[in-house]
A and B are shown apart, each in its own frame.
Chain A
């Protein structure tokens, strides 16, 4: 809308005004984290203890790997529901290579990560080439991968994996599990790149309006294929470490992880409609879910009741998310 006192863009003073940011962004997640953190600190004796906080951080640091690729997909308005089953399969596959074929850890991991990435690439290829709905395709691959996991799992005797495999998750640097350190390093580096990298900016363009992005020469399909590959790769990496931590394979490893990730990311400020989110927000969201779960356990809430609670959290955040989107569309 034009007004009589239209802004003269040549004027230096107004130029500074034009540069001012008017929105601080959506930081609800920080408030939420503070509230639950303070609540648990003051209502329980066990929460605010080094051991407890450390174990929360350790748990999140392993799941965090799977969040990396997933975050890229969510921002582009895509989703990978097979993260959880990929998380389970990768651990079993490494175990299979080491137990049956007697490979050592490193080649096993490289081979498995390669195979899983290839699988992710194929999923991305199918989705972009034939313009398929990623939720439906990855719902299919969720079942497919979980099935493969069960078949492989049943093909060799259930064993506690050898020392080499078990040591992967236990490795410490300066007394701290390496995964925690890796998580912080990755979050700082990627957090910076999410803000300033040209390549990652394109991810936001695609999420905001894929057609417009296409019109201005942004190669959405290539970037999406890359993100599906990355999602499978990072999920597989997280899964290998998770399996190492529990020392054996279990068909339930990674079960429901996609649910935790979606809830965590949306609580963190991502939108299922795409265009919003970021690696730091993803981590904060995951921390929120982890602290919430710990808190509920402290209050002796039964696992099934916890599940009910998480469901409620997801519905509430989706409600808030769609409200925000409606407001944005109204302008």
Chain B
């Protein structure tokens, strides 16, 4: 690749938001027709860089050139005209329209009527080039996430994109869908399209990328060639600036006695065919992991256990007492809190001060004579800011101003406030960087050592293997087995999770 021309050149790009230097003097280049990975912790400046390339932000200083031509004004339409297209993590599709309408949404034509037949034909052509088989007239909302993403990539190509940015493209995909995406990306590279690939998943990056550029704290660190010298640990250590001897994940050694008392017992939880006869037993001071592939019902089960999701049947026992009313308020009263899986939907009050966020479940404790005590709320909040080393400017800022890792730590603080005896955590490290992940895992282990029992739902198997004393595996709505600590390994878990169980 030595002689391939440079298609994208960034020179001394800096960008600040108030006191935050999101990008500091970033200089690097992308060659034509390569898959170039962009790697960095949350807050490293990746998203800002994407927004500059897509034209949503303009840099404070520095220049961006595409094929030698400098971009003078930054606007999405300008970026598009330079052939830059972004496929965001949250897809921007028209759910109620069909595939071909999504691929050619802004087709300029001079006739009054949309040339439907022509567009369908064009859609089919572009698909066959990539070996895809999607009906051009299918409705988007009927398609799976992975297919919708393909459609969005095809749209980028229909706009004659030369450079396609993919932001965390595999975050919602299973392994089979991921491998299809990888094939498509390789095909695009062969067609001369340049791909900038942003992902947390280092193994994917090593699998597919030609080169990897690393950002840390807004600065450009280095670019690696993807050759035999590149290893996962090398990438991780350049990202976090520390040398990880090995990955943050290591197999847990359980210290929970087999006959430790059961504190939480869920019996026969059922909701249609989504969750069927699911029963779980959580022992005192243990972390029970619950694993399942997408669509296995783990998400629904976790919500049913906290009264966030309707159920047909099922009963709960907590410290030998039946919990009759399964509602969040009553669960909290009993000493159980729930860490939501997606903080964007629920879990934080994004327009309220961080202090108010923390106070939410413990208002009564921060009240004097029926009135909220500002002083108590401040002290309460600051104690958690210290305990979890939450990085913030002011406790009266909103969580919007925090990085993903700090938002997650804020959410964890909220859940820890009411002194829970048990936590139900759902995807505790979703969308945060490696450093923060490690911190969260440490916190969870610390909670357990303080006597809090944890039911941990996660789709990241290495994380569960690191955390769990036992792992319960779900498969198409049923719990197909509980693996004891000694027998936990990826092979055993995957077998229970992916094995074909007969539908009837």
Contact = CB atoms under 8 A, between A and B. Distances in A.
A212 B346 contact: yes
B340 interface: yes
B39 to A, nearest CB: 16
A203 B17 CA distance: 32
A10 B372 contact: no
Interface string B376-411: 001000100110011111111110110100000000
A15 interface: yes
Contact of A2 (B333, B372, B401, B403): B403
Contacts of B190: none
A22 B355 CA distance: 13
Contacts of A9: 382, 385-386, 389-390
A7 B392 contact: yes
A196 B372 contact: yes
Interface stretch (A64-72, A106-114, A216-224): A216-224
Interface string A203-247: 011001101111111110000000000000000000000000000
Contact of A275 (B22, B351, B392): B351
A99 B417 CA distance: 59
A49 interface: no
A331 B400 contact: yes
A209 B349 contact: yes
A202 B389 contact: no
Contact of B349 (A197, A208, A329): A208
B217 A2 contact: yes
A21 interface: yes
A201 B331 CA distance: 21
B367 interface: yes
A102 interface: no
Interface residues of B, number: 54
Contacts of B401: 331
Contacts of A275: 351-352
A217 B21 CA distance: 38
Contacts, number: 121
Contact of B328 (A205, A209, A215): A215
Contacts of B350: 208-209, 329, 331
B22 A1 contact: yes
B396 A23 contact: yes
B414 A4 contact: no
Contacts of B396: 19-23
A155 interface: no
A213 B359 CA distance: 11
B347 A3 contact: no
Contacts of B331: 217
B143 interface: no
A6 B391 contact: yes
Contact of A198 (B41, B370, B394, B398): B370
B76 interface: no
15 contacts: A1-B17, A1-B22, A2-B41, A9-B385, A18-B382, A18-B385, A20-B394, A22-B394, A22-B396, A22-B397, A198-B366, A201-B356, A201-B363, A216-B414, A217-B333
Interface of B: 17, 19-22, 41, 43, 217-218, 308, 328-329, 331-333, 338, 340, 345-352, 356, 359-361, 363-364, 366-367, 370-372, 378, 382, 385-386, 389-398, 400-401, 403, 414
Q: Which 6 A-B pairs have the closest CB atoms?
A: A331-B400, A211-B346, A217-B332, A217-B329, A216-B361, A1-B43
Given A1-B22, A208-B351, A209-B346, 7 more contacts: A2-B403, A15-B382, A198-B370, A201-B359, A201-B363, A217-B332, A328-B351
